């Protein structure tokens, strides 16, 4: 009856491509085990792959829907919330 949450902020940029892929795969595997009585939420505050912007992202399982919640300054000076 609880929602588990995985949260990370500005860590993926310090990892190699293989390490990033392994973390993302592990979170997705955990998502496949989620169900309505035990959902999983993944919240990430990270640079985009091309380092063009920092995004606050939310993925929710059991359905695996991803939402881009906001675009942000990397050090929190501003946040642009996006409408659903």
State how many domains the chain has: 1
Location of structure tokens 């309505």: 36
pLDDT of residue 1: 76
Q: Which domain holds residue 57?
A: 4-81
pTM as predicted: 0.90
pLDDT of residue 84: 63
pLDDT tens for each residue of the chain, 84 residues long: 799 999 999 999 999 999 999 999 999 999 999 999 999 999 999 999 889 999 999 999 999 999 999 999 999 899 999 976
- 17 beta partners: none
Structure tokens at 35: 């169900």
Give the pairing of strands 40-47 and 4-9: parallel
């Amino acid at each position: 009856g609880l929602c588990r949450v995985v949260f990370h902020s500005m860590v993926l940029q310090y990892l190699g491509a293989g390490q990033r892929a392994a973390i993302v795969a592990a979170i997705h595997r955990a998502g496949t085990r989620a169900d309505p009585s035990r959902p999983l939420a993944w919240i990430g505050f990270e640079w985009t792959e091309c380092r063009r912007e920092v995004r606050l992202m939310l993925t929710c399982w059991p359905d695996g829907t991803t939402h881009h919640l906001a675009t942000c300054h990397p050090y929190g000076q501003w946040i642009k919330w996006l409408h659903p």
